Amino acid sequence: MLTAVAMIAFACNSLLCRIALQQGGIDPASFASVRLVSGAIALAVIVRLRSERPAPGNADWRAAAMLFAYVVFFSFAYLSLSAGTGALILFGAVQLTMFGAGLRAGEMFGAGAWLGLALAVAGLVYLVSPGVTAPAPFGATLMAIAGVAWGLYSLRGRGVSDPLAATAGNFARAAPLALVLSLLFVGKANADAAGVVLAVVSGAVTSGIGYVIWYAALRNLSAMRAATVQLSVPPIAAVGGVIFLSESITPRLAAASAAILGGIAMVLLSRSR
C-alpha cells in the first residue's frame, strides 16, 4: 500500500504541474518556487515532529543545485508536453543517467542488459523523432535535462545515513534559488489562487509527504523491486492525463512506452541476476 501510494504521488506531480500550466493559473517559474518552498516547509515540519533525531551531515549544495534544476526544467517542460509523455521522457532520462553512471563506475552489463539499454534508447529516440504526433522538441529537451538532473541527484543521495533529513535540507537550500529565478521572470509572473494551491499540493503533499511514504516503503523493498515499481509512474501519469486532462494516448506514445519501460526492465532484471 505504501509503495502504491508513493507511485501515485510521484505521478501526480506531472498531473498537477500540467493542470496548473494548462489552465494558465500560474507561470512555470512561480510553480517551481512555490513547489520547492512548500516542500521545504512540509519536510522541515515532518523532520522536527518525528521521534528520532536527524543524523548529522554536511550541507550538499551540489545536490540542492540538482534538485533545483530538476524542478525548474520539469516545470517549464510541461508548458508543451502532455502528462504521460513528460513522465516517460523524465523517467527514461533518469534511468539512463543512472545506468550510465554504473557503466562509468565499472559495472559489468551482460548481453541482456545491453539489449535492454539499446531498446530503451531506441524507444526514447522514436518518441522524440520528428512526426505529427512527436512531442514539442524544446519541451522534450527540457524534460530530458530535468531527468538527468534528477538522476544525478539520486546518485548523490546513495548511502546517505538519513535520507529524509537530507532531502529536507536539499529542499531548504534549493528554495532560495527558485525564488531568485522567480525574480528574473517577475515580468511574466502570473499566479491565481488555484495555481498556487496546485503548486503547494505538488510541493507539500505529492513531493514532501510522498517522499516520506516512499522512504517508509523502501524499508521492505529490495533495490531491484524499488527500481522496478517505478516503471509504473509513467503509465499512471498517462492514465491520469486521459482522465483529468482529456489527453490521448497515441500509438507513438504506446510503442515508445513499451520499448523504454520494457528495455529498462530488461536491464534491471539482468543487473539483479
Q: How confident is the model at residue 255 (pLDDT cuts 50, 70, 90)?
A: very high
Task: Pick the more confident residue, 261 or 160.
Answer: 261
Task: Pick the more confident residue, 131 or 153.
Answer: 153
Question: Phi/psi of residue 26, each to 5°?
Answer: -165, 150
Q: Are 247 and 84 in contact (CB under 8 A)?
A: yes
Mean pLDDT is highest, among 73-82, 162-171, 180-189, 246-255, for 73-82
Q: Are 215 and 26 in contact (CB under 8 A)?
A: no
For residues 87-110, give the mean pLDDT: 85
| Boundaries of every domain in the chain | 2-272
pLDDT reading at 127 higher than 70 = yes
What confidence score (pLDDT) does residue 273 get?
58
Q: Are 154 and 95 in contact (CB under 8 A)?
A: no
Q: How confident is the model at residue 57 (pLDDT cuts 50, 70, 90)?
A: low
CA 173 from centroid of its chain's CA atoms: 18
What confidence score (pLDDT) does residue 107 get?
77
What confidence score (pLDDT) does residue 69 get?
96
Whole-structure pTM value: 0.88
Q: Are 23 and 198 in contact (CB under 8 A)?
A: no
pLDDT reading at 245 higher than 70 = yes
Can you read off the three cell numbers belonging to residue 260? 523504454
- State the average pLDDT for the chain: 88
Q: Residue 3, SS3?
A: helix
Q: How confident is the model at residue 60 (pLDDT cuts 50, 70, 90)?
A: confident
pLDDT tens digits for 1-37? 898 999 999 999 999 999 999 988 899 999 999 999 9
Q: Which of these, 2, 253, 268, 9, lies nearest to 132 by C-alpha position?
A: 253
Q: Residue ranges of the alpha helices (H) in 78-162?
A: 83-104, 111-128, 137-156
80 vs 118: CA distance, rounded Å: 27
Residue 151 burial (CB < 10 Å; 0-12/13-18/19+)? Answer: buried
For residues 244-263, give the mean pLDDT: 90
Q: How far is CA 180 from CA 52, 66, 68, 87, in A?
A: 34, 16, 11, 26
Q: Are 161 and 55 in contact (CB under 8 A)?
A: yes
131 vs 105: CA distance, rounded Å: 37
Q: Are 22 and 86 in contact (CB under 8 A)?
A: no
Sign of CA dihedral 145, 151, 152, 157: positive
Q: Are 123 and 256 in contact (CB under 8 A)?
A: yes
What confidence score (pLDDT) does residue 58 get?
67
pLDDT tens digits for 198-229? 999 999 999 999 988 988 888 887 766 777 78
